[in-house]
Amino acid sequence: MTRNDIEQPEVTGNVAVGGNARGTRITASRLQIRRLSRGLVRRLLGPFGLELRRRPPPPPMGADLGTDLQRLLAGTPHPVVFDIGANVGEFLTRIRVNFPAAVMHVFEPSPAVFQALQRAAGELPGVTLNNIAMGPRREERLLQEHSASQMSSLLPPGPTAWSEVRRETPVRVETVDAYCAERGIPSIDLLKIDTQGYDLEVLRGAERMVADGRTRLVLVEFTFRPDYRGMAEPDALYRHLADRRFRIIGLYDWWYHNDLPINADALFLRAPVR
């Protein structure tokens, strides 16, 4: 058989006819049906002030924290979430929007801020509020309460701190491991820590829950300037979690000052055992 014996398609304009004509005509007719259907739907929706739009694709992984959490916790109807360093409940609110049935354990050590947190949480079901701090061991420490409550920390302010300490308040410190053991919490789906430079110490108090594979996601704050004395650098937080089989997913909610980064939230996922 020669090449001339093989039927070759004839191309006319943008439509191929010949050996593959039937398939081409079917494809074209399907496209026409789709266009006609969209036109009909638009005419039906128009009188009601509605319009038909193509749904935009979801953002890529690492672009949006809420979207990534929905992806990573898909199929978990009641995720167990620890919100450590809750302040007045911003993160609590974000989680409840995306996961209305989440089981949340929320921690805020400042008595004054805790009252505001209680008002924000109201009577939300599945939310346990705790007026305590979390750390590497059970103890009592002085909370440095700042004029800007989101800057309050168990650590003294550093050279770049941007608010003043108004008072020192004695607070009770617990560990994540002890809290879970006493309440029979077998696993954590999302461990969020935002304790103003104290995140590594909180992770040390969560060693069993983190290192034993009983925590799926960890969200910590990377701070890129010395806002607190004795704070953990981002590379120390990264290494601590990487050594326990966590890999970083993305950095979110960047804050800048004079075009330089101040902090960002880092999300880590527990790597599967191979």
Domain of residue 225, CATH code: 3.40.50.150
Q: Is residue 53 part of a domain?
A: no
What is the pLDDT, as a whole number, of residue 7?
A: 45
Q: For residue 19, name the pLDDT band (cuts at 50, 70, 90).
A: very low
Res 132: pLDDT: 98
102 plus 176 within the same structural domain: yes
Residue 23 covered by a domain: yes
Are 21 and 138 in the same domain? no
Cβ atoms 199, 219 nearer than 8 A: no
Q: 0.85 cut: is pTM over it?
A: no
The predicted structure's pLDDT at residue 231: 97
Q: 114 and 204 in one domain?
A: yes
Instruction: Categorize the per-residue pLDDT at 188 as very low, low, confident or very high, splitting at 50, 70 and 90.
Output: very high
Residue 60 lies in a domain: no
- Please report which confidence band the pLDDT of residue 10 belongs to, taking 50, 70 and 90 as the band edges: very low
- In a domain, residue 200? The reply is yes
- The rounded distance, in Å, linking the Cα atoms of 15 and 24 is 7
What is the Cα–Cα distance from 149 to 59, expressed in whole angstroms? 33
Token pair belonging to 81: 């979430």
Rounded to an integer, the average pLDDT of 130-136 is: 98
The pLDDT of residue 1 is 45
Q: Specify whether 12 is located in the same domain as 75.
A: no
Is there a single domain that holds both residue 123 and residue 16?
no
Portion of the chain with pLDDT greater than 70, in percent: 87
Question: Are 120 and 178 in the same domain?
Answer: yes
How would residue 35 be classed by pLDDT, with cut points 50, 70 and 90? confident
Instruction: Kindly state whether residues 99 and 18 are assigned to the same domain.
Output: no
pLDDT at 13 exceeding the cut of 90: no
Structural domain harbouring 37:
3-47
- Alpha carbon distance 247, 72 (integer Å): 13
Number of domains in the chain: 2
Q: Are residues 167 and 240 in the same domain?
A: yes
pLDDT at 163 over 90: yes
Sign of CA dihedral 234, 237, 242, 248: negative
- 32 and 76 part of one domain: no
From first CA to last CA, the distance across the chain in angstroms is: 54
- Report yes or no on 175 lying in a domain: yes
Say if residue 89 is in the same domain as residue 205.
yes
